[in-house]
């Protein structure tokens, strides 16, 4: 009989993933102590998750307001069915030209609903955000039906992390 069931192995991996999402700077030793695992087991699980591409990388969650920028959301609708433009979309993402527009690309998602795409990015101001959306609309006009821009007012949770300044939400509660 196997030492660990597949279910237990999956549960252990999820436990380690939660710890990494909480703080990816933790050492395997720290994670092992918190989870009650051996350091070798944590290393083995993390390496397997990396090999299987279940973990794409490690990143810092940045408070955009602290560096004078803000988070924006661009929602886009594609003109043609996805199968007709998928190669061009992959080329666009791989060629990430956001740096040319003074924005920091935070995420791009293919979504289901009224829109086909969600692009999350940070920019210094609304002018730069609009410039980036204008660039997308112009550059990819043959693919995009429309693009709408929204500005984040206050993040409560960002990439799984609770805003350390959550109490500031009260400033937005106007009666």
- Token pair 């810092």 in the structure block, residue: 60
User: Is residue 124 situated within a structural domain?
Assistant: yes
The number of domains in the chain is 2
Q: What per-residue confidence (pLDDT) applies to 1?
A: 42
CATH of residue 38's domain is: 1.10.10
User: Is residue 13 situated within a structural domain?
Assistant: yes
Range(s) of the domain holding residue 37: 6-51
Q: What per-residue confidence (pLDDT) applies to 30?
A: 95
Q: Are residues 69 and 34 in the same domain?
A: no
Separation CA 125–CA 133 (nearest Å):
13
From the first residue on, what is the mean pLDDT of each consecutive set of 10 residues in the chain (175 residues)? 74 92 90 94 93 86 82 90 73 67 86 92 93 87 89 89 88 80
Residue 163 CB contacts under 8 Å (≥ 6 apart), including other chains = 63, 154, 155, 156, 157
Q: What pTM value is reported for the model?
A: 0.75
């Amino acid at each position: 009989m196997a030492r660990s069931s597949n279910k237990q192995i999956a549960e252990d991996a999820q436990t380690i993933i939660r710890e990494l999402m909480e703080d990816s700077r933790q050492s395997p030793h720290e994670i092992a102590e918190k989870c009650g695992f051996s350091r070798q087991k944590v290393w083995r699980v993390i390496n397997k998750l990396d090999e299987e591409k279940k973990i794409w990388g490690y990143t810092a969650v940045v408070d955009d307001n602290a560096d004078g920028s803000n988070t924006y959301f661009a929602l886009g609708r594609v003109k043609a069915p996805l199968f007709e433009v998928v190669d061009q979309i992959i080329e666009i993402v791989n060629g990430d030209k956001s740096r040319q527009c003074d924005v920091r690309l935070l995420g791009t998602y293919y979504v289901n609903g009224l829109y086909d795409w969600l692009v999350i990015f940070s920019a210094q101001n609304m002018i730069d955000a609009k410039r980036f959306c204008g660039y997308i609309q112009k550059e990819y006009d043959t693919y995009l039906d429309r693009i709408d821009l929204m500005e984040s007012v206050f993040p409560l949770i960002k990439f799984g992390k609770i805003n350390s300044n959550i109490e500031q939400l009260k400033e937005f509660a106007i009666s």
